[in-house]
């Protein structure tokens, strides 16, 4: 480092430490008299006199002459008068290639209690989305190894998609299939608000050793404070951005963005925001586009993102689902009725869409997908007549064709969790089934 750079670094150091005192704790909120801080700054709260314990908290608002803090852990043992030290810095996490294959918490620390490997770089977790004019258009397909998706809902490299479903319809299983089979360089998986039991089950059963060795998993379970669940989403996104800036094609999976919104609602209500639609505060609808727009392409690499959206009562038009659907570049709808019939993955092809598919695959592929969707729609619309025997063969050529091909269509759509199918195989099977000609 040159002398000028050293002098500049010295000049930028703040020689003062700023302190305050805890005044009051109400629910999730800590009120402090000082220190001088800005929104998003991290503060250290010291507990005890002899063996001092430190709790990290973040500035989330101001009230009269004081500041409002939210802790990253529980507020146990915090009492009036506890010393609050301002760092004047936002939260940063470590990122680097040595983290691949590890499971970390929302602050980027290994979940098994070990130390972080050396040689990692600090990155801020809250960053601005890429400049729109510096985003290269999506022009290549991304193989995910799921026949239904690769054939009928082709994903582009750098596309952002939502997986919409109620509870227990197979979201985690589908994410595990994609993580194991994808051609992306690296997976970053965020498990936000999950039950503690499900974390290890997902890692060992759905992701498996093959998937974990090319993944970084960020975990913030449902028992953790709301701020930790929010930071889990930001940390995973920041790690994915780090690798994107290294020129990699990253696959980011977040399960689920709904729980991030719920955590932000908790924070918003605690600091006095008015509840609006279904109790969600205005800040929820402000952070969602900022978080989701951070992924995608930039001039260095790409982040192909899958965000699961947990819809209450299978209502696809509830506020969070409606907002997320409007931000993303496509959505897959998992249907409980299909899951009840034993169809996995339970993606409802007719309600799902990939908004970039027509621009990234050959015309023959597009025509074959449209043909199969048309046949499937014809059969579904006539299913009741067919099942009660009211339809007479020969009444409609389209319905006759749909009935004849339906078993093959169903076989094409279904796929076992341990079955890996290449993009080329998926497309060739689709063209053969639809009978529209070659893939040109």
User: 314: how many CB neighbours lie within 10 A of its CB?
Assistant: 16
Where residue 418 sits, what CATH number does that domain have? 1.20.1270.330
In this prediction, residue 50 has a pLDDT band, given cuts at 50, 70 and 90, of: low
pLDDT tens per residue, range 261-293: 999 999 888 888 888 878 899 999 999 999 999
In a domain, 2, yes or no: no
Whether 319 and 376 share a structural domain: no
From 30-44, 63-77, 82-96, 274-288, the region with the lowest mean pLDDT: 63-77
Residue 11, domain member (yes or no): no
CA angle centred on 234, ends 233 and 240, rounded to 5° = 95
Q: Are 198 and 302 contained in the same domain? A: yes
Please check whether residues 37 and 157 belong to one and the same domain: no
- Residue 258 forms part of a structural domain: yes
Domain boundary among the residues 59, 89, 119 is at: 89
The answer to whether residue 273 sits within a structural domain is yes
Residues 38 and 97 in one domain: no
Per-residue pLDDT band at 313 (split at 50, 70, 90): low
Over residues 397-425, the mean pLDDT reads: 90
16: pLDDT strictly greater than 90: no
CA triple 123-305-138, angle to 5 deg: 105
Residue ranges of E strands in 256-345: 296-297, 302-310, 330-333
Of 325, 341, 360, the residue at which a domain comes to its end is 360
Q: What is the domain extent for residue 403? A: 362-432
| Phi/psi-derived region of residue 168, left when phi > 0, alpha when psi is between -120 and 50, beta in every other case | left
Q: Are residues 273 and 304 in the same domain?
A: yes
| Average per-residue pLDDT for the chain | 88
- Based on the domain organization, do 128 and 85 belong to the same domain? no
Strand partners, 25: 30
Last residue of a domain, one of 327, 360, 393: 360
What confidence category does residue 6 fall into, taking pLDDT thresholds of 50, 70 and 90?
low
Average pLDDT over residues 165-187: 88
pLDDT per residue as tens digits for the range 334-392: 998 888 888 889 999 999 999 999 999 999 999 999 999 999 999 898 888 887 888 78
Backbone angles phi, psi at 65, to 5 degrees: -95, 0
Residue 51: what pLDDT? 57
Q: Is 1 helix (H, G, I), strand (E, B) or coil?
A: coil
At residue 243, does pLDDT exceed 90? yes
Please tell me whether residues 343 and 404 are part of one structural domain: no
Q: Is the pTM higher than 0.85?
A: yes
In a domain, 321, yes or no: yes
The alpha carbon of 329 is separated from its chain's Cα centroid by a whole number of angstroms, namely 14
């Amino acid at each position: 480092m040159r002398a000028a750079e050293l002098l500049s670094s010295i000049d930028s150091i703040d020689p003062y430490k700023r302190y305050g005192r805890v005044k009051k704790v109400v629910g999730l909120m800590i009120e402090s008299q000082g220190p001088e801080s800005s929104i998003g700054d991290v503060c250290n709260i010291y507990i005890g006199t002899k063996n001092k314990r430190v709790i990290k908290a973040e500035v989330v608002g101001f009230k009269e002459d004081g500041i409002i803090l939210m802790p990253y852990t529980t507020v146990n043992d915090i009492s009036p008068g506890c010393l609050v030290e301002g760092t004047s810095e936002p939260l940063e996490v470590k990122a680097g290639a040595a983290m691949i294959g590890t499971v970390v918490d929302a602050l980027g620390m290994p979940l098994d209690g070990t130390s972080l490997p050396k040689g990692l770089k600090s990155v801020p977790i809250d960053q601005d989305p890429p400049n729109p004019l510096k985003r290269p258009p999506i022009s290549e397909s991304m193989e995910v190894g799921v026949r239904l998706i690769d054939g009928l809902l082709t994903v582009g490299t750098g596309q952002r998609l939502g997986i919409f479903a109620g509870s227990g319809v197979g979201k985690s299983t589908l994410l595990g299939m994609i993580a194991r089979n994808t051609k992306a360089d690296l997976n970053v998986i965020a498990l936000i608000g999950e039950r503690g039991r499900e974390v290890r089950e997902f890692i060992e059963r759905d992701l498996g050793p093959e998937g974990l060795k090319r993944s970084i998993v960020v975990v913030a379970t449902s028992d953790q404070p709301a701020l930790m669940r929010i930071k889990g989403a930001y940390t995973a996104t920041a790690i994915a951005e780090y690798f994107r800036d290294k020129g990699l094609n990253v696959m980011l999976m977040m399960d689920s963005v709904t729980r991030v919104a719920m955590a932000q609602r908790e924070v918003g209500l605690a600091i006095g925001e008015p509840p609006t639609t279904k109790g969600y505060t205005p800040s929820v609808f402000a952070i969602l586009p900022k978080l989701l727009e951070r992924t995608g392409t930039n001039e260095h690499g790409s982040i192909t993102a899958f965000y699961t959206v947990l819809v209450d009562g299978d209502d696809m038009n509830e506020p969070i689902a409606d907002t997320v659907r409007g931000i993303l570049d496509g959505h897959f709808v998992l249907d409980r009725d299909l899951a009840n019939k034993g169809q996995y993955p339970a993606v409802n092809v007719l309600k799902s869409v990939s908004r970039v598919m027509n621009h990234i695959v050959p015309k023959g592929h597009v025509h074959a997908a449209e043909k199969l969707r048309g046949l499937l729609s014809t059969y579904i619309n006539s299913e009741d007549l067919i099942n009660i025997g009211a339809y007479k063969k020969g009444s409609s050529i389209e319905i006759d064709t749909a009935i004849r091909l339906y078993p093959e269509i169903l076989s094409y759509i279904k796929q076992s969790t341990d079955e890996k199918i290449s993009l080329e195989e998926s497309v060739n099977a689709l063209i053969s089934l639809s009978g529209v000609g070659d893939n040109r």
